[in-house]
């Protein structure tokens, strides 16, 4: 069995499967290392031959997780993915390749493998929104990083004195965003307008580079929100789940 872990800024996602590219037999998410440890202790350690870790957290936090995996699965190979200069026909576009976020690197590898010789715009909408442009030849052309929806909201409430409101989980506006007549609507619609504008900006840039010859891949928890703007713009897109796990297969073959 292979245990894969995608350690993000907010959540730790993991999955267990017999071998690479085979069906997943178990998957879950954990909000902390303590919860993760409790979940993983339920797995038969003798049946796990390899653990593959993709972490965007600090070196200290990542080492804690590596130590945990070594304790829980003492006979397994422990592999930690790293951003490289090139891999599977993709060339890292960062000035210092190792500084490219690992989640972005793995997503780029996965998209290139899936799309083949196609220009790609990759937008990951999680705690942060990251954008990467990938040419049909496999050249990573760089990208952008911006705060995600949740981060925009939290910064408004934590960095101002009077922007306070109880958030209501409601239907996302799919047409024009009318001005809010209360703080809740003003903040929620303002953050959505910023996200929609950011997505439209990225599509405009891709069109300048490639005309209509590109594919848009959305991933992350707020991908359906970005999809609303792309639909309005009549831009084809694909919501691609688990790109980090797919990239792990390429970066850390077992």
State the catalytic residues: 103
Q: 111 Cβ partners below 8 Å, 6+ apart? A: 120, 122, 134, 217, 240, 243
Please give the torsion angle defined by the CA atoms of residues 198, 200, 203 and 204, in that order, rounded to the nearest 10 degrees: -100
Q: Are 119 and 140 in contact (CB under 8 A)?
A: no
Phi first, then psi, for residue 247 (nearest 5°) are -70, -30
- The DSSP element (H or E) to which 69 belongs, if any, is helix 59-72
Q: How far apart are CA 253 and CA 4, in angstroms?
A: 12
CA atoms within 13 A on the CB side of 103: 26
Q: How far apart are CA 191 and CA 152, in angstroms?
A: 7
Q: How far apart are CA 79 and CA 53, in angstroms?
A: 6
Q: How far apart are CA 20 and CA 86, in angstroms?
A: 21
Q: Are 54 and 102 in contact (CB under 8 A)?
A: yes
């Amino acid at each position: 069995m292979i245990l894969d872990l995608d350690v993000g800024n907010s959540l730790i996602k993991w999955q267990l499967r017999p071998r690479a590219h085979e069906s997943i037999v178990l998957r879950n998410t954990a909000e902390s290392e303590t919860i993760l440890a409790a979940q993983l202790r339920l797995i038969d350690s003798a049946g796990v031959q390899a653990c593959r870790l993709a972490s965007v957290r600090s070196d200290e936090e990542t080492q804690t997780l590596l130590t945990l995996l070594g304790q829980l699965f003492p006979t397994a190979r422990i592999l930690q993915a790293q951003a490289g200069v090139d891999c599977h026909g993709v060339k890292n576009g960062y000035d210092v390749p190792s500084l490219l976020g690992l989640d972005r690197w793995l997503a780029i590898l996965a998209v290139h493998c899936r799309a083949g010789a196609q220009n790609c715009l990759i937008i990951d909408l999680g705690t942060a929104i990251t954008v990467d442009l990938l040419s049909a030849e496999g050249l990573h052309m760089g990208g952008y990083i911006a705060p995600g929806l949740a981060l925009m909201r939290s910064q408004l409430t934590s960095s101002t004195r009077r922007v306070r409101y109880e958030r209501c989980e409601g239907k996302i506006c799919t047409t024009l965003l009318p001005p809010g007549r209360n703080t809740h609507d003003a903040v929620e619609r303002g953050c959505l307008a910023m996200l929609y504008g950011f997505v439209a900006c990225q599509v405009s840039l891709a069109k300048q580079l490639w005309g209509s010859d590109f594919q848009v891949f959305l991933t992350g928890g707020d991908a359906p929100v970005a999809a609303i703007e792309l639909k309005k713009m009549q831009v084809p897109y694909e919501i691609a789940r688990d790109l980090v796990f797919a990239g792990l297969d390429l970066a850390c073959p077992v």
